[in-house]
Amino acid sequence: MRQVKINSTTGSEIVSSADLKLFAKIDTTADDAIIARQITQARIWCENYISRDIVAKNRSYYLDETNGIFDIPFGPVATISSIHADGVALTHTNIGLDKETIELDNGYAQKVTVVYITAGLDDSLLQQAILQLATTYYENRVDWISGASINEAPTDVRDVLNSYKAMFL
């Protein structure tokens, strides 16, 4: 069993309400709270789709057991705060370009908990995906619109995010 938990969100959104209002041509301030929620929801959807943190977070990752080498989900990893197995602190080495692979110095371990901080991602493609998805959420705020069909997510948002997608098996 593997589990990932967000302990806290330490970063801020990479798309502002003003950015979305400009993108979607929204002139009113009446929906500012809704727009902020749509941005957050779009960002969370994007993070889950690509298995990467767009906004920096403090996370915990739990594994039943490991042979001593494992990948941490939702990078890029900024720092490893601690690694414990059955309550005992372990030493490790970070491997990989984004420090997402851990090699335990003592090898095999059980009941491993890793506490780490992600750096978050910020670039124009991610901002574009969030803008498009948040606009779709804003324009389709209800489940039923007479005479219209609603999709899960625009295909082009998936296409934009595919280059970031990581799989953890």
Looking up residue 145, the CATH number of its domain turns out to be 1.10.3230
Are 111 and 131 part of one and the same domain? Answer: no
pLDDT recorded at residue 139: 87
The candidate with the shortest Cα–Cα distance to 125, out of 164, 165, 74, 77, is 164
Are 146 and 111 part of one and the same domain? Answer: no
- pTM comes to 0.82
Are 44 and 62 part of one and the same domain? Answer: no
Are 77 and 100 part of one and the same domain? Answer: yes
Digitized pLDDT (tens) for each residue of the chain, 169 residues in all = 899 999 999 999 999 999 999 999 999 999 999 999 999 999 999 999 999 999 999 999 999 999 999 999 998 999 999 999 998 999 999 998 888 999 999 999 999 999 999 999 999 999 999 999 999 989 887 655 566 665 555 556 777 677 677 655 4
Rounded Cα gap, residues 39 and 61, in angstroms? 26
Beta strands in 34-161, from DSSP E residues, in sequence order: 57-66, 69-71, 77-85, 88-89, 92-95, 101-104, 109-118
Are 32 and 78 part of one and the same domain? Answer: no
pLDDT recorded at residue 166: 63
Pull the structure tokens for residue 81: 């705060």
- CB atoms closer than 10 angstroms to residue 145: 11
Structural domain of 128: 10-54+121-164
Number of structural domains (the chain) is 2
pLDDT recorded at residue 152: 58
Task: Tell whether 169 is covered by a domain.
Answer: no
Which of 99, 118, 137 finishes a domain?
118
Are 149 and 138 part of one and the same domain? Answer: yes
Pull the structure tokens for residue 35: 């727009």
Are 153 and 111 part of one and the same domain? Answer: no
Task: Tell whether 4 is covered by a domain.
Answer: no
Are 128 and 84 part of one and the same domain? Answer: no
Task: Tell whether 2 is covered by a domain.
Answer: no
Task: Tell whether 92 is covered by a domain.
Answer: yes
